[in-house]
Homo-oligomer: A and B are copies of this chain.
Amino acid sequence: MSDTIKYLLSEDQVPKVWYNILADLPEPLPPVIHPGTGQPIGPDDLAPLFPMALIGQEVSADREIEIPDPVRDVYRTWRPTPLHRARGLEKVLDTPAKIYYKYEGVSPAGSHKPNTAVAQAFYNKDSGVKRLSTETGAGQWGSALAFACAHFGLELDVFMVRVSFDQKPYRRAMMETFGARCVASPSEETQSGRAILAEHPDSAGSLGIAISEAVEVAAQSDDTKYALGSVLNHVLLHQTVVGQEAMLQMEMAGNWPDILVGCTGGGSNFSGLVCPFLGAKLRGGAGIRVVAVEPAACPSLTRGEYAYDFGDTSHLTPLVKMHTLGSTFVPPPFHAGGLRYHGMAPLVSHLKQLDLIEAKSYHQTECFAAGVQFARAEGIVPAPEANHAVKGAIDEALACKEAGIGRTILFNLCGHGHFDMQAYTDYFAGRLNDQSYAESELAMALSGLPSVAAE
């Protein structure tokens, strides 16, 4: 028999803590600023939206935060996730590199999103909340939260961007199967939605509008809170179960990665994999290169400005310092909906500023080509977002081949593409749009950045 292909941990190896890299960074994160006062915000400013336990995690400096038993119990229904040696892909590429991938697609929603959805649902339930509201684009996050709410007996309202609501009914069907209520946004249910509809009755919606609706519902109701699927510190924190498991699995494999690769939209699957490894490096461990891969059509890390900006289009959120294309920037349509965000997690932006990570961007057509190559070699059809990580890993493996060096590469295959097959159909039909990121649009968007007396 050939060598081992996948590395499996037992249920009792599901991590017992989340790892907080802030404890190991040489510099703290820039503060979050209240747009009205220009001063750093405090916990009370966030209390209408989040339970206090999550606010505490958002600002915590503790290196380890214990995972509550009820959360670990749910994690164990699909975690630990497998780590695979990509022997098929290595063979096709004829590379001396060793390629490994952590596969988060085995979760109930098919991606890494339930890692934080379960934690957020638990803390909300635990603090007496009856209902959550959230937004979703293509539906990956909405279906993860729907699963988590079903488990803990919370109601859930999902504001789903109208164009996705109409065009991608199957993620919606999955949310409804898990018991969530799914509303097309803009809707008649909120003031924000009605205002948009009054002006644009045929509005296709946007993530920015959907966020406004979900936030409004939570802010105006005592028993309803808001949940976000990426960007925030506590969300990225919950994803560190991915990297912690991967460290154990790389030890099982008797290899340690020289290069880590992840795709970045809001930044959560990326930091989930890389932060535990980076923490080990910061505490004196082995050196490691870390590569963030983003879409060329929405290149916040590679082309954005590192500046204070709003997290949403309607400017309901506080100001955070991040790599941003401007909160009014609307990315061109491409299939990796999870990567269509104008900004980047402040933590990931901070890692970039500290030169702890690199970033590069690819057009979607070359990412789908990489995804198809991966599917034929490994038997898993990746999500369009994950294809960016696949492309990044393949390029690193080909660079190893050219240099004749057998480095070890680990990437996060953050989800499967079962609900994204229209994108593959469009790829095979040559219908994908590789619209370039327009300099003029960037300039316009950046000119809209707010003026803030930072730090």
Interface of chain A residues 72 through 90 with chain B (CB within 8 A): 72-73, 76-78, 84, 88
* CB–CB B110/A1 < 8 A: no
A418 interface residue, CB < 8 Å from B?
yes
- How many whole Å from A286's CB to the nearest CB in chain B? 27
Complex contacts, A78 vs chain B, CB 8 Å:
379
* Pair B8/A10 contact, Cβ less than 8 Å: yes
Q: When chains A and B are docked, how far (Å) is the Cα of A421 from the Cα of B420? A: 13
Q: In the complex, what residue of chain B is closest to A424 when comparing beta carbons?
A: B173
Q: Range of interface residues on chain A?
A: 35 or more
Q: Which residue in B10, B88, B108 is a CB contact (below 8 Å) of A380? A: B108
A177 at the interface (CB under 8 A from B): yes
CB distance from A320 to the nearest CB of B (A): 32
Closest to A9 in B: B8
Which of A120-128, A355-363, A370-378 is the contact stretch? A370-378
Q: Which residues of B contact A416 (CB under 8 A)?
A: 418
Determine whether A419 belongs to the interface, using a CB cutoff of 8 Å to chain B: yes
Pick from A5, A77, A169, A378 the residue with the most CB of B within 10 Å.
A77
CB distance from A385 to the nearest CB of B (A): 16
Q: Which of B151, B375, B422, B424 contacts A88 (CB 8 A)?
A: B151
Interface pair B170/A421, CB less than 8 Å apart: yes
Asked if B170 and A422 sit within 8 Å, CB to CB, the answer is yes
A5-B1 in contact (CB<8A): no
Given contacts A8-B11, A150-B379, A177-B375, 6 further A-B contacts (CB under 8 A): A5-B11, A169-B425, A173-B421, A174-B381, A174-B421, A176-B428
